[in-house]
Structure 1
Amino acid sequence: MEILRTPEERFESIPDFPWEPEYREWEGMRLAHIDEGEGEPVLLVHGEPTWGYLWRKVMGPLLDAGYRCIVPDLPGFGRSDKPVDDDWYTYDRHTAALVSLIEELDLDGLTLVCHDWGGPIGLRAASIEVPERFTRLVAMDTGLFTGYQKMSDNWNHFRDFIASHRDVRVDMPIRGGCATELSDEVVAAYEAPFPDVNYKAGIRTFPPMIPVTPEDPGAEAGQEAAKYLIADDRPSLVLWADSDPALPMDPVGKTVQMLFPKAEPLTVIENAGHFLQEDHGEQIGRIIADWLRKN
């Protein structure tokens, strides 16, 4: 199996991301994660087409409040190695990679903070894989894919675009998914892990990985995770951007809220797009830190 590793110099000019990565070996590849701070652990899981850089603004308030932040780069993203073969990437493998990190670091008392594809992966880990290691759940602009979920027209257009373009542009969904204008330097940070088309299998494979019928691969795991969460009594918090073009608050956010019957009312982040961490990351970090203190 051919595996690529993004040259480190691609990350040398990344703005506002001072933390050094740690590395571990898993299934013949090197995977990266950030592990900063002390205290209760918070696991922040990114999605498509981002990497750990997405969480930098959220991390500040959490670290200041005394929490430990563990921020993995999923296989195929960020500083983690990138299998070239599209067929390598599956929902099961992404979940297994995250579970292996949790077990290798022996993390307990975890708070999950997840976004986009970090939700199906992280929520599966926190429900039907290693639920005993998690005590609190925070979800934002994400959910579980059961095959019954309805996807927006914007998302369907994005999936179709990905299917016909192997050399996926990262800048377009990043800029289009933010309510505020991003600097060229920040956009370049999201592009940094992907020097050319050969590095982009991870990006290409997430959209078609979403089950669109209850019989599709991954749907059964999503259904099992949903059943677990609906009966769960752990403290949970759901945040949603008011202007998410891919996963609109109505109906997607309100539907996802139903997965967390013990959650407080849906917390709306105003003037924010799908990548709400870019639009209002510090605010989100403060909201989570304050909620953690109370729960």
Structure 2
Amino acid sequence: MKRYALPILLILALPLVSGLMVRVEVRGTIEGNIPYQEITDGLQDRPFRFLITWENTGSVGCDVVLRTDVYAKEAEKKSHVYTAWSESTPIESGATGNIEAYWLPGEPGEYEANLSIILCNNFLQVLQANISINESQGTFEKAPFEVLRVENDEKQVEFEVKSEEDLEELIIIPTKYPLGWRVDSKAFRNIGGDEPKILSLDYEPGIKGEKEITFELLANGGKYKKLLFYTISLEKKRDFWSIWTIPLLIFLVVILTASNLCLLQRERLSRFKRKYLTKGYLGPKLDKFRKERARKKEKKD
């Protein structure tokens, strides 16, 4: 079992040291262990999984994210080829959780993976591993699933997927995305049935604008594969209520105003009737007016 620790002021500065304990004082203790890890050699064009088990031995619950930076080793130089992100996993104090991130190797060769975790917004480097990627001799079969729809809001990309057969696992990997962004990779289990499934990936964008992301969907260990190009628009999607709120409010104000005017006019008419008609005031006035009018007409004749 490996343990890691460091003071809060040196978290970003100290290199990885075996046997070090991760500890940060924030009205409690943030610390943990990695009792299990799974990083083995892989195959070209097959999903590669980085798996660690994080045990939260501190007194504070944290959201935990795994970041894996992959470097190709060529002679004495290293070149960055990919950054894999896991989904954010909440792990309470005393609990244990598995954190997974995925990468799709494009070329066989020797690679180095640097694994870090983001723990309660603290960045900690926890592991370094050497990886051999071997050439794959397998071929892809026709995928039995279809992507019916892809949409995004400001935090998630949503896939509507329907499969003709049950899939043990469907992995979605953003193989190409804008520099400075975080786009999660994730495995979805037990996909199938008659109804389409909604699968969601979280992401954190950089500056606003339309950006294209390449997603690869791989099922059953890479037996099936689909390539998907999607342009993320960071314009906030507005639902029915956000679109029609102001027109509806204006319409409501007009209706209420008209209703109040009608009530006011009715009240005035009612007062007029009570004052003049019920007291016999208007009748004599009208008779006098008619008589005067008749006399004037007779004089003219």
Q: TM-score, normalised to structure 2's length?
A: 0.24
Which is strand-richer, 1 or 2? 2
- Structure 1 or 2, whichever has the larger Rg, is 2
| Higher RCO structure (Cα 8 Å, ≥6 apart) | 1
Query: Which structure has more helix as a fraction of its residues?
Result: 1
